[in-house]
Amino acid sequence: MTEKQRKILDIALELFAQDGYNSTSTNKIAQEAGVSEGLIFKHFGSKEGLLDYLVEEGVALMNEELDNLMRIENSVDRLKATLRFPKAVIDKNPAYWKVQMSIKFANHEIVEKYHNSSFMGKAMGIISETFEELNFENPQMETQLLMQIIASFFMSLINDEMENYAEMVSFLEKKYNLI
Amino acid sequence: MTEKQRKILDIALELFAQDGYNSTSTNKIAQEAGVSEGLIFKHFGSKEGLLDYLVEEGVALMNEELDNLMRIENSVDRLKATLRFPKAVIDKNPAYWKVQMSIKFANHEIVEKYHNSSFMGKAMGIISETFEELNFENPQMETQLLMQIIASFFMSLINDEMENYAEMVSFLEKKYNLI
DNA sequence: AACCAAAGTGAGTAATCACTCACAAAAGTA
DNA sequence: TACTTTTGTGAGTGATTACTCACTTTGGTT
């Protein structure tokens, strides 16, 4: 990976997150990266190829975080960490998830392409296992509900719409009897 | 409102919902509506003016639905109806909410403009009042959590990602002791 | 030094975009 | 009927878009 190649990716990620994929021109990316526009296409083939690369990086990051979560042995601690997961992940790399969200609703064809490589399955596995270990009455529905809640937290955090995240976490900890 | 004016709105709503606002050209709207492209601008000023009109219609629809919800006297029944609210609303007019979601993440400037006219405040008022009437221990946090859950349901339903909505509703009814 | 593949350039291109405008048809209104 | 207003047309425009291509520069190998 060349220095300029990395620069293109970094600037593209920043601009995609800030202005959206569709509203960011390859011309602007080239200018801000201090690079000729042609180089983008030499390296990534197309604008969508550039997005592909960034999405893959995001997926890799998310899988890493999920692996860390999975490694927590104690079920109670794992569930606690799961509740804190959205904020922890977003604080590390907000741009990747802003891009993911912006394409999820705007570009239907592109979303279809990425849908398979989703990490939802892995996340569901972790949560499901946790609720089973904790002997919840209906682990499947508990899993599905918590997945919804976490997804919603992701969206709110990306839009800076959740000031009292910590309070919400401790509220949920009480509900789940984790004290 | 002219016949052609209504036709433009209907087609625009359909195409915005299907392909997204940015990916829908005024040319295509005109063609599918059987109307000259100029007429769109004569009636709505700009492409964004057309979107404004549709968003206002959506806001009016949502406020109507919220008023209906508010009119339910019995707290238990109102909370039950609140849980069914997302599916009930989306089943009636899916296109409006697909458009709302697609612009929420793609067009940052446009979102800012609509953010004030949000009906979130009204929804929060209804739910908050319900939890207080039902003597929940922490009505504020309960409200915020349920708002998140409902928002998540909206998103999942729009993307056709929730097959067992009914099961989820009855699961939540048990959780909230509504049986 | 001679050579070559990869990295990098930047002017150019065809397509698409939202939007304009001079004009025509239709619909009131008197 | 004579008029004004509203509704409607469609060719045209400048700006922007993603992408191409002929070419140059750079870095490493023999």
pLDDT digits (tens, 9 = 90+) for B49-80: 999 999 999 999 999 999 999 999 999 999 99
The pLDDT of residue B136 is 97
Contact B115, B38 (CB under 8 A): no
Residue A116 has pLDDT above 70, yes or no: no
Question: Which tokens is B66 given?
Answer: 């919220």
Give the rounded percent of residues in chain A with a pLDDT score beyond 90: 85
Residue B146 has pLDDT above 90, yes or no: yes
Please indicate whether, in this complex, the C-beta atoms of A148 and B153 are within 8 angstroms of each other: yes
Residue A17 has pLDDT above 80, yes or no: yes
CA of A103 to C1' of D7 (A): 39
Return all residues near A139 (Cβ < 8 A) that are at least 6 apart. A128, A131, A132
Please indicate whether, in this complex, the C-beta atoms of A20 and B108 are within 8 angstroms of each other: yes
Residue A162 has pLDDT above 90, yes or no: yes
Band (pLDDT 50/70/90 cuts) for residue B114 is confident
A152 vs B104, B107, B151: nearest CB: B151
Contact A76, B75 (CB under 8 A): no
Residue B111 has pLDDT above 70, yes or no: yes
Average pLDDT, chain A: 94
Q: Distance (Å, rounded) from C-alpha A22 to C-alpha A179?
A: 45
Residue B154 has pLDDT above 90, yes or no: yes
Residue A125 has pLDDT above 70, yes or no: yes
CA of A6 to C1' of D29 (A): 26
Please indicate whether, in this complex, the C-beta atoms of A102 and B102 are within 8 angstroms of each other: no
Question: Which tokens is A175 given?
Answer: 């509900």
The pLDDT of residue B117 is 67
Put simply, whether A105 touches B (Cβ < 8 Å) is yes
Contact B37, A123 (CB under 8 A): no
Question: Which tokens is B58 given?
Answer: 């959506």
Residue A16 burial (C-beta neighbours within 10 Å; 0-12, 13-18, 19+): buried
- Average confidence (pLDDT) over B108-126: 82
Tell which B residues from 106 to 145 touch A, by Cβ distance under 8 Å.
106-108, 138, 141, 144-145
Return all residues near A167 (Cβ < 8 A) that are at least 6 apart. B141
Name the amino acid, one letter, at B145: L
CA of B8 to C1' of C19 (A): 17
Q: Distance (Å, rounded) from C-alpha A5 to C-alpha B89?
A: 47
- CA torsion sign for B95, B100, B104, B108 is positive
| Domain positions in chain A | 3-175
Return all residues near A12 (Cβ < 8 A) that are at least 6 apart. A24, A29, A33, A50, A51, A54
In angstroms, what separates the C-alpha of A43 from chain B's closest C-alpha? 26
Question: Which tokens is A28 given?
Answer: 């602007």
> HSE (CB half, 13 Å, CA atoms) of B28?
14
The domain made up of A3-175 has a fold known as: Tetracycline Repressor; domain 2 (1.10.357)
Residue B34 DSSP SS3: coil
Cβ neighbours, 10 Å, residue B32: 16
- Average confidence (pLDDT) over A102-112: 76
Name the amino acid, one letter, at A12: A
In tens, the pLDDT along B91-100 reads 999 999 999 8
Question: Strand D nucleotides below 7 A of a protein CB?
Answer: 7-12, 16-22
Average pLDDT, chain B: 94
Give the rounded percent of residues in chain A with a pLDDT score beyond 70: 98
Cβ neighbours, 10 Å, residue B2: 9
Name the amino acid, one letter, at A15: L
Band (pLDDT 50/70/90 cuts) for residue B116 is low
Put simply, whether B16 touches A (Cβ < 8 Å) is no
- Average confidence (pLDDT) over A33-62: 96
- Average confidence (pLDDT) over A52-70: 96
CA of B127 to C1' of D4 (A): 55
Return the residue matching tokens 């009016």: B60
- Average confidence (pLDDT) over A82-104: 93
Put simply, whether B74 touches A (Cβ < 8 Å) is no
